Amino acid sequence: MKILITGASGLIGKSLVKKLIERGHSVNILVRKETNEPNEFLWNLQENFIEDEAFLGVESIIHLAGATIAKRWTTDYKKELYTSRIDTAKLLKKYALKHHLQLKSFISASGVNYYGTFTSNEILTEDTPIKKLDFLAELCKNWEEAAFDFNDISERIICLRTSPVLAKKGGTFEPLKKITDLNLASPIGSGDQWMNWIHIDDLVELYVMAVENQEMNGCYNAAAEEIPSNRNFMKELSRKSKKFFIPIPVPRFLIKLMLGEMSTIILEGSRVSNQKIKSLGFEFKHPFLGETFENLLQK
């Protein structure tokens, strides 16, 4: 299958491109700077432009582009978070229509913050409505709406509501490991907030499944089996790293002072269910936290 991918230079995109090519798919990549690679094509959101050749023969689009949420949310940066996800999707739709594409699938990233950012013992499923319409919930809602706008030209629409990604380099794991290596691992805030997570290898396999499995359609929570509290997450990381764990939590006010509104994604968290994707036969290679840390800590 010929697949067009945005965000291919990111943490997920790099691994996904490699995996798709290994499985025999042909991949076109959208880039912001001109290269000599035959499968890389320019796009520019400000100029509302994508090279037409990028769409030739494309049967599926995977939309991973989006500025990181792990940065202080100023008013201007909130706009960037929006435009880098939603406006780029609209630009893709414009060009897909221009080239009269009839897609087998349009696959988009989304986030587990779709439901709102809060702490609760409720386990959230894909049928759970938005519980708290905060900034990230609204962002994810608009992100998914932009994906489902492809309904008229795509047989299937898949949105993966993604948990923080654990990988050796990049993602959530790397900064937490640095803190742990300094023997400073400790709970954050109350420490009771839940921490959804997923190993990058499992997330890449989910995207491959979205491309290849015709039964996969709609929204899916992308989260591992074991969802610990923040306290237990940090305690397990320090144990597997053979480092000290400090049981005294980092105060909420300090995190808020340092990070502003963005601090909510660290200080709050509810659990999501992965049963929907498992019901299609997906098997997680890294469902549990201890084994995952062992895997990531290997030299």
CATH for 167: 3.40.50.720
What number of residues does the chain have?
Answer: 299
Mean pLDDT of 5-16: 96
What tokens appear for 136 in the block?
């990230």
- Share of residues in the chain with pLDDT > 90 (%): 95
Q: What does pTM read for this prediction?
A: 0.96
Instruction: Give residue-wise pLDDT tens across range 30-89.
Output: 999 988 889 999 999 999 999 999 999 999 999 999 999 989 999 999 999 999 999 999
Residues 158, 163, 164, 170: is their CA dihedral positive or negative? negative
Q: Among candidates 137, 140, 178, which has minimal Cα distance to 264?
A: 137
Phi/psi of residue 164, nearest 5 degrees? -50, 135
At which residue do the structure tokens 């989304």 appear? 110
- Share of residues in the chain with pLDDT > 70 (%): 100
The whole-angstrom separation of Cα 120 and Cα 24 is 43
The whole-angstrom separation of Cα 169 and Cα 29 is 22
Q: Among candidates 235, 226, 105, which has minimal Cα distance to 163?
A: 226
Largest Cα span, the chain: 59
Specify the 3-state DSSP secondary structure of 167: coil
> How does the average pLDDT of the chain come out, rounded?
96
Count structural domains, the chain: 1
Single-letter residue type at 160:
L
Instruction: Give residue-wise pLDDT tens across range 128-180.
Output: 999 999 999 999 999 999 999 999 999 999 999 999 999 998 889 999 999 99
For helices 173-181 and 230-240, angle between their N-to-C axes, nearest 10 degrees? 60
Residues 42, 47, 52, 57: is their CA dihedral positive or negative? positive
Burial class (CB in 10 A: 0-12, 13-18, 19+), 102: exposed
Given this model, what pLDDT does residue 136 score? 97
Instruction: Give the strand pairing for 103-111 and 49-50.
Output: unpaired
Q: Give the CA count within 13 Å in the CB-facing half-sphere of 239.
A: 11
Specify the 3-state DSSP secondary structure of 209: helix
Structural domain that includes position 93: 2-297
Distances (CA, A) of 276 to 83, 263, 285: 30, 29, 17
User: Quick one: three-class SS letters along 106-120?
Assistant: EEEEEEHHHHCCCCE
Single-letter residue type at 87:
D
